[in-house]
Chains A and B, each alone.
Chain A
Amino acid sequence: MEAKLLMGNEACCEGALAVGVDFFGGYPITPSNEIGEIMSRRLPKVGGRFIQMEDEIGSMACIVGASIAGRKTMTATSGPGFSLMQENLGFAAMAEAPCVIVNVMRGGPSTGMPTLPSQGDVQQARWGTHGDHPIIALTPSTVREVFDLTVTSVNFAEKYRTPVVLLMDEVIGHLREKVVLPQKESVEVVNRAKPTCPPEWYRPFEDNKSGVPLMAPFGEGYRYHVTGLTHDEMGFPTTKKDEVDALNQRLHRKIRQGFEEIMIHESFLMEDATTAIVTYGCVVRSAKTAVLEMRQEGKKVGLIKLTTLWPFPRIAFENLSDQVEEIFVPEMNMGQLYREVVRVNHGKRVVRKISKVDGEMISPEDIMRAIKREGGSGAKVY
């Protein structure tokens, strides 16, 4: 394939179309708009459907409805819209409707700074909707990775029957890079497992080894009930403690069983590192430069890039060498993932956060200065 100059938001659409997304429901919001615009133009050409809903509550409801009707569905939004989607994102988790929510993070709180980047929705992606639900959230740091992770998000959604949040930041969403996309035939496509049994045998929320029940689309002969209420394996509301517990346990177990595959992370020059930078999204770019420059100065710095944010990839720290004495977590928020890094390191090493919340991207200098404790930048080390 030839090289193309693509924006992150464009690469997201290319990934979605390559993996077979055929339904998009959304509502305009900066800085995610290009995604809805492109999908509105491309989907009708490939047998898909696009609908602009009346708000983000409706967008989320609509993609869940379409998912249950058998479509591969996606929406895209930013902070304020993501807040509105939380209600039906929870429904998707409970009803086990595969769908992908792209959140191109902008400055917050509230309407914040629509055109400036932040990473302020990291914990909202985990806990934004009520109830003790599992979730998957992935975050890219290059335009090519936007493509790849959109594909992965859709595939995880289909495989695990769960909503998946693709957390981009505004920097990555609007970044233009030269990319070579894979041939469509080489893109891995996962489709939800459907029942093949006679309809009268179908138990729509029955447990199995994977913990992911077979999913029949509406209209194909398997008439059944879907509800956001706690339900039994036939899908009917229940308050019997055995059935309630079984459902809640299974919802978590199906994701837990996939931890190895889901917790995506990468190491960069960590072999001999005594200091690690742990970060994600656009900050990975600055961190790489910081690592290389500090290595030139003789400091043994390495990078752990977290691609999956939720479930938190603790695996990345389990085999970390005792040589690593210090970890820095630069984030464009006040330390939302830093707490997780502290948690999984069990006090074994010093973990410091580098926070920047002034609407600008964290630069390599910010990171280097913070590690050297020189201070004097927008990024504060704590």
Chain B
Amino acid sequence: MQKSIDVYAYLRHEKKFPLIWCAGCGNGIILGSIIRAVDGLGLDKNLVSMVSGIGCSGRTSTYVDFNTLHTTHGRALAFATGVKFGRPELTTLVVMGDGDCLSIGGNHFIHAARRNIDMTAFIFNNNIYGMTGGQVSPTTPEGMIASTASYGNREPNFDACKLAVAAGASFVARGTTYEADSLDEIIALAIQNKGFSVVEVMTPCPTIYGRYNRLGNAVKMLRMQLEDTVTVEEAAGMSPEELKDKVVTGVFHDAPRPELCEEYELVIETALKK
């Protein structure tokens, strides 16, 4: 894919910078990837809508020069369903955090996947509730420390990608902020899928998650993403023991199927005959 360097053409300048995110946060890398993917696909900014939830990731929509809607906690997909179903010509990008999407927004997530409505759902997964100070999230791995799991988290965590596949998403992939180049490509594929696409991105939170768990600074946490990650192709040849504690990246699922807005055209056709 051709790389664009004109990221600034997609950002809002007036009053919006510096970013709200902490130094070392990975969210800006994901934002860069999204912009490069949108640019690479040559999408018209007027026809791109970004809908976000609440949390660190929720602020993403503030910075980009699209039609942006910053909603309530967990509800981004339900708002986005209204935007997309109300105006299907909009390319709809939905930005959520791990707690946002998988905890409070879990019901909306599985139903958006089931409907296969054409939008790309991004899960910025930093394994913790960052904005509120570091509470345990549904993706905090077992044994890790959070402000509401001071003695170590004893709840199993979700695999968001497996959940998305099971619920019916037609494109499911995972990337990391370390591998920004391949993230650009994954996001471009996800947006191109005519249906519900899920891109989970592992993003480091050195300020909160890293500090609670003594994972080192931002650079060290990014390196850990490299060390702990295997591609879906590599994972195919590994045993479950070898895969324990590894994060698998790549495209897990790419199986187009009928999309909601298109299917509704059939509803209209049938209704008009009756």
Q: Contact residues of A with B, CB < 8 Å?
A: 23, 25, 41, 44-45, 49, 51, 53-55, 57-59, 61-71, 73, 87-88, 91, 217-221, 223-229, 232, 234, 236-237
Contact = CB atoms under 8 A, between A and B. Distances in A.
Contacts of B87: 66, 69-71, 217-219
B107 A65 contact: no
Interface in B1-48: 12, 14-16, 45-47
A90 B267 CA distance: 32
B75 A88 contact: yes
B107 A225 contact: no
B69 interface: yes
Nearest to A232: B15
Interface residues of B, number: 41
B89 interface: yes
Contacts of B271: 41, 44-45
A156 B13 CA distance: 36
B72 A23 contact: no
B72 A223 contact: no
Given A219-B46, A236-B16, A237-B62, A61 B86 contact: no
**Dominant SS at the B interface?**
helix
B81 interface: yes
Most buried by B among A55, A73, A225: A225
B66 interface: yes
A65 B82 contact: yes
B68 A226 contact: yes
Nearest to A59: B78
Contacts of A232: 15
Nearest to A221: B46
Interface of B: 12, 14-16, 45-47, 49, 51, 61-62, 65-72, 75, 78-87, 89-90, 107-108, 111, 264, 267-268, 270-272
A59 B85 CA distance: 13
Given A62-B78, A87-B75, A219-B47, 6 more contacts: A25-B81, A73-B86, A218-B67, A220-B46, A227-B70, A228-B70
**Dominant SS at the A interface?**
mixed
Q: Which 10 A-B pairs have the closest CB atoms?
A: A65-B82, A66-B86, A61-B78, A66-B82, A62-B82, A58-B78, A227-B70, A69-B86, A218-B67, A44-B271
B272 A45 contact: yes
Nearest to A47: B268
B267 to A, nearest CB: 5
A65 B111 contact: no
A23 B261 CA distance: 13
Contact of A88 (B16, B72, B85, B267): B72
Contacts of A54: 78, 107-108, 111
Given A41-B271, A69-B83, A228 B72 contact: yes
A219 B67 contact: yes
B235 to A, nearest CB: 32
Given A58-B107, A223-B46, A224-B67, A65 B14 contact: no
A218 B268 contact: no
B81 A51 contact: yes
A61 to B, nearest CB: 4
Contacts of B82: 23, 25, 61-69, 71, 73
Nearest to B61: A225
Most buried by B among A45, A61, A65: A65
B70 A68 contact: no
B119 to A, nearest CB: 11
A59 B111 CA distance: 12
Contacts of B86: 23, 49, 65-67, 69-71, 73
